[in-house]
């Protein structure tokens, strides 16, 4: 499943804040990687379980972060991608 995640931070909102690094690590541990286009856009083609784990891990890290930074907004989009990127058995089940 294709996923795109964007977020912004308030508080100490410089590029290399500890919270930003924690979030980045949690996303990348689940196969969702920084696109290199903006400081807070991450994409991946991963299983639904990895998406669930990433979102849980991000919010856990944010909730327990001891600094003054916090998530201002968190945006996520997920879809099955282009039909030619979906496994044949899945494509057939989806009617693609």
In whole angstroms, what is the distance from residue 35 CA to residue 88 CA?
Answer: 27
In whole angstroms, what is the distance from residue 30 CA to residue 55 CA?
Answer: 10
In whole angstroms, what is the distance from residue 14 CA to residue 32 CA?
Answer: 21
Could you identify the residue written with the tokens 């496994």? 87
Domains of the chain: 2-94 (3.30.70)
Chain centroid offset of residue 45 CA: 11
For the stretch 50-62, pLDDT in tens is 999 999 999 999 9
Q: Can you read off the two tokens belonging to residue 40?
A: 């807070």
For the stretch 22-80, pLDDT in tens is 999 999 999 999 998 777 899 999 999 999 999 999 999 999 998 888 899 999 999 98
Q: Contact 27/52 with Cβ under 8 angstroms?
A: no
């Amino acid at each position: 499943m294709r996923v795109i995640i964007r977020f912004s931070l308030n508080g100490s909102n410089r590029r290399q804040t500890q919270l930003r690094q924690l979030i980045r690590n949690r996303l990348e541990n689940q196969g969702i990687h920084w696109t290199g286009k903006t400081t807070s856009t991450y994409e991946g083609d991963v299983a639904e379980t990895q998406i669930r784990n990433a979102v849980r891990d991000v919010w856990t890290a944010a909730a327990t972060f001891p600094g003054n930074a916090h998530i201002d907004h968190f945006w996520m989009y997920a879809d099955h991608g282009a039909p030619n990127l979906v496994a044949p058995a899945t494509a057939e089940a989806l009617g693609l």
